[in-house]
Structure 1
Amino acid sequence: MEDTTSTLPDRGRELIARPEQTPDALRAALAVVAPGRLAEMQATKDEAFAKAVEWQSVSPVQSWVLRWARDIEITRRPGLSARFERAQSMLEDEDPGLAEQALRELAAVLDEAMKAVRG
């Protein structure tokens, strides 16, 4: 049987609903779609909050929220996640043309996810 999932639109094929952009909602979503990344999320959250205090700015916290909202967006959508993983696996291909194509695809996936979470 041919795998056609990568050519089908993602709409309606989401593992979970898009979470609110709050630390608690993002953590709960990550616990469902990628629990192995919870420690990474906590470490980057701690760094963001420390920078926010040091810089006297909420910018690091806002960046942290957007980064994790984007990553969860990719992970919660199987088609987008498959594109991301495929592109990542080809980044260091010996063929420079394939590696460049993979880089473009990776950028397209990240852009699509960021647009989705920014509404």
Structure 2
Amino acid sequence: MSVEHTEHDGPLIPKPALTLPALRQAVATVAPSRLPEFFEDMQKAFVQAGEQGSVVPIRMFYRHWGVIVEIERHPQIARRLHEAEQALDSEHPAVRDGAIREAGEIVRAAHREVERG
């Protein structure tokens, strides 16, 4: 038995570099509705960096958005995460517990992938 593959089985875009231009373009492609959030987070990160005299907030911003893009560039994974997020509102504890586990696994895997570069 063979499995049919659709055009969306793989990533929508290649993994972007963790740079402002690459992440901005990636967000615009895989999650355009989140661009305002991206720019708001960017502004906060740069303000914090200036206040702290540290690049850590900027690195954290890049990492955070790298993880979001890593998830969103894989439609099936993104769908699973969004379904898990919706299931958190369930009145059934077992459904909520399963959703927490699913979301956690997806986010941890995305973090590992971003770390690998």
Same fold, judged at TM 0.5 (above) = yes
The percentage of aligned residue pairs carrying the same residue is 33
Q: Report 1:104-119 matches (<5 A).
A: 104-119=101-116
Structure 1 counterpart of 2:68, which letter?
D
Counting matched residue pairs gives: 111
Matched, 1:36 2:33: yes
Gaps of 5+ in 2: none
| Superimposed CA distance per residue, residues 58-83 of structure 1 (whole angstroms, 9 cap, x where no aligned partner) | 11111100000000010000121111
Gaps of 5+ in 1: none
Q: Work out the CA distance in 1 between the residues paired with 2:34 and 2:94.
A: 31
Give the CA deviation at 1:107.
0.7
Q: Work out the CA distance in 1 between the residues paired with 2:88 and 2:13.
A: 28
Pick aligned residue for 2:14 from 11, 17, 27: 17
| Superimposed CA distance per residue, residues 24-65 of structure 1 (whole angstroms, 9 cap, x where no aligned partner) | 100011111111111110010000000011111111111100
Q: Work out the CA distance in 2 between the residues paired with 1:112 and 1:83.
A: 13
Q: Report 1:88-99 matches (<5 A).
A: 88-99=85-96
Q: Work out the CA distance in 1 between the residues paired with 2:32 and 2:72.
A: 11
Query: Who is 1:71 aligned against?
Result: 68
Structure 1 residue ranges, 4+ long, deviating more than 6 angstroms after superposition: none
Pick aligned residue for 2:58 from 58, 61, 86: 61
Q: TM-score, normalised by structure 1?
A: 0.88
| Superimposed CA distance per residue, residues 75-107 of structure 1 (whole angstroms, 9 cap, x where no aligned partner) | 000121111011111011100111011011111
